[in-house]
């Protein structure tokens, strides 16, 4: 699945007013000047996400070697604390054999279940029954939690979750709205501030637009330059590979490919380690522009929007086909592609039907299908590895679409007491396995990013 930045200024426009949605999509990247307006409705630019992935396994369920320590999730917006002690070595879990029998180890001694989980042994294996606040094989994941903020800030949003679900990148900011401070969190640990690169101006601040498969690479932009961050090298100024400035909108999961918009030609681009390609436009309109908004796992499929006097139209690009318009229904007005699955076979986004925006899904070259109801404004913002699970927003509620149909994220977490005081407004990213969803909401009236772990 692609990792979405959605363009920097769009997200800034959203954040500065602290409102949901957004009709402005542009970007501020390396060497960039101001971003550009794209269309009347615009994309779900700067998709805002919340939450940090929780990681860590529990102790060993066996009776010999110790397992790795897990991570005990914090609650509310508080950072989690390391917990989940390792299973002790030795043979303390051996159950005495009867006469003539053989000693049998008890997989529930010591108890491998974290956070108050109950262990049941069956066929020599341990199975954990978790309390309503936790899930996972060892009850290691808190089902729902807010991510809090960096010190000195008041509000937060998440932008993306890594494909393996372990790492998130987002922003923390003051109540006034600026500047934005980029952060990264690994396995649910405390938010790590990502400093701007040397020479960056930060009136608006810095904003992450992409994260790779494991969360080791984060890319984004500040006021005047793009940046890339790795734990080894810290924050570096991104390569200024196109004159006139760029908007970095997405990063492939394997970290090889950047996509976005070149401001000099108002044209979608694709950047690999060996080449930069301008992807063209659907219409030969003097005022037309295109922007790449999403890329699949290995960078071979790009999706986005072309804007001309004919309106906004979703496109798909590969090196074999070039830029082609995605199929549309006769009743559609404007439409955009906002994400592509990791395998490149499914694209999701939205289409305007009369006065309503409906979430839509394209599969291959077949006709698109609707995900949302006829009367509700909705957008599909992200999809998982094979496109079987899609998340987004409908009528200011965070929703998920899967084989069972549509559900609100809150309804899937109803038994968690950690939802108290929360309103979940958007689900904006999802891990490849579909189990980690991140989004935007309010907690006791304050804007805060959140993470949900589904069973």
352 pLDDT higher than 70: yes
pLDDT tens for each residue of 107-149:
999 999 999 999 999 999 999 999 999 999 999 999 999 999 9
Q: Work out the number of other CB atoms within 10 angstroms of the CB of residue 13.
A: 20
Structural domains present in the chain:
3-54+143-453 (2.120.10.30)
Q: Which of 9-13, 22-26, 47-51, 435-439 has the highest mean pLDDT?
A: 435-439
Q: Work out the number of other CB atoms within 10 angstroms of the CB of residue 104.
A: 15
pLDDT cut 70: percent of the chain above it: 76
Q: Model confidence at 247, in pLDDT bands (50, 70, 90)?
A: confident
32 pLDDT higher than 60: no
- CB 190, CB 82: distance < 8 Å: no
Q: Which is nearest to 400 in space by CA: 359, 347, 344?
A: 359
pLDDT of residue 162: 97
Cα–Cα dist 320/341, whole Å: 18
Cα–Cα dist 37/19, whole Å: 18
Interval 406-426 mean pLDDT = 94
Q: What are the DSSP E strand ranges found in 296-433? A: 302-308, 311-318, 322-325, 332-340, 346-353, 356-363, 369-370, 378-383, 390-394, 397-402, 405-408, 422-430
Displacement of CA 396 from its chain's centroid (Å): 18
Q: Model confidence at 105, in pLDDT bands (50, 70, 90)?
A: confident
- If one compares 46 and 158, the residue with the highest pLDDT of the two is 158
- If one compares 155 and 374, the residue with the highest pLDDT of the two is 155
Task: Copy the structure tokens of residue 248.
Answer: 């970095």
pLDDT of residue 148: 97
Interval 245-274 mean pLDDT = 93
326 pLDDT higher than 50: yes
pLDDT of residue 96: 42
Pairing of strands 144-146, 446-453: antiparallel
Q: Model confidence at 83, in pLDDT bands (50, 70, 90)?
A: very low
- CB 294, CB 304: distance < 8 Å: yes
55 pLDDT higher than 60: no
**Phi, psi values for residue 418, rounded to 5°:** -70, -10
Q: Model confidence at 287, in pLDDT bands (50, 70, 90)?
A: confident
349 pLDDT higher than 90: yes
pLDDT of residue 26: 33
pLDDT of residue 126: 95
The count of C-alpha atoms lying within 13 angstroms of the C-alpha of 95, restricted to the half-sphere facing its C-beta, is 12
Q: Model confidence at 23, in pLDDT bands (50, 70, 90)?
A: very low
73 pLDDT higher than 80: no
pLDDT of residue 33: 37
Q: Evaluate the omega torsion of the peptide bond into residue 232 and state whether it is cis, within 30 degrees of 0.
A: no
pLDDT tens for each residue of 183-233:
999 989 999 999 999 989 999 999 999 999 999 999 998 988 889 999 999
């Amino acid at each position: 699945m692609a990792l979405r930045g959605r363009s920097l200024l769009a997200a800034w426009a959203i954040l500065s007013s602290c409102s949901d949605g957004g009709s402005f999509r542009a970007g501020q990247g390396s060497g960039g000047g101001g971003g550009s307006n794209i269309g009347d409705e615009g994309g779900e630019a700067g998709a805002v996400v919340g939450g940090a992935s929780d990681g860590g396994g529990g102790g060993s369920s066996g009776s010999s070697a110790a397992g790795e320590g897990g991570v005990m999730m914090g609650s509310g917006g508080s950072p989690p604390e390391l917990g989940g002690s390792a299973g002790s070595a030795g043979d303390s879990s051996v159950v005495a054999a009867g006469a003539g029998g053989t000693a049998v180890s008890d997989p529930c001694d010591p108890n491998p279940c974290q956070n108050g989980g109950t262990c049941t042994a069956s066929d020599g294996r341990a199975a954990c029954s978790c309390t309503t606040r936790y899930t996972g094989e060892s009850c290691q994941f808190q089902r729902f939690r807010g991510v809090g903020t960096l010190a000195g800030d008041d509000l937060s949003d998440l932008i993306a979750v890594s494909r393996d679900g372990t790492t998130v990148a987002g922003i923390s900011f003051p109540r006034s709205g600026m500047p934005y401070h980029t952060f990264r969190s690994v396995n649910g640990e405390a938010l790590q501030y990502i400093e701007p690169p040397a020479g960056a101006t930060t009136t608006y601040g810095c904003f992450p637009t992409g994260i790779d498969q494991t969360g080791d690479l984060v890319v984004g932009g500040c006021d005047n330059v793009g940046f890339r961050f790795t734990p080894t090298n810290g924050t570096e100024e991104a390569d200024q590979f196109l004159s006139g400035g760029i908007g970095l909108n997405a990063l492939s999961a394997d970290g090889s490919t950047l996509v976005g918009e070149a401001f000099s030609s108002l044209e979608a681009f694709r950047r690999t380690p060996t080449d930069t390609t301008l992807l063209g436009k659907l219409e030969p309109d003097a005022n037309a522009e295109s922007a790449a908004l999403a890329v699949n796992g290995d960078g071979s499929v790009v999706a986005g929007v072309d804007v001309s006097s004919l309106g906004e139209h979703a496109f798909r690009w590969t090196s074999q086909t070039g830029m082609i318009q995605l199929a549309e229904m006769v009743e559609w007005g404007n439409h955009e592609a906002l994400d592509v699955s990791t395998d490149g076979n499914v694209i999701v986004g939205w289409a305007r039907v009369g006065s309503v925006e409906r979430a839509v899904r394209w599969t291959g070259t077949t006709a698109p299908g609707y995900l949302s109801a006829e009367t509700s404004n909705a957008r599909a913002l992200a999809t998982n590895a094979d496109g079987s699970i899609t998340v987004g927003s409908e009528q200011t509620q965070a929703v998920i679409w899967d084989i069972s149909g549509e559900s609100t994220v809150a309804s899937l977490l109803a038994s968690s007491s950690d939802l108290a005081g929360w309103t979940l407004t958007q689900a904006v990213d999802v891990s490849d396995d579909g189990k980690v969803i991140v989004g935007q909401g309010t907690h006791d009236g304050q804007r805060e990013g959140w993470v949900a772990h589904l069973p």
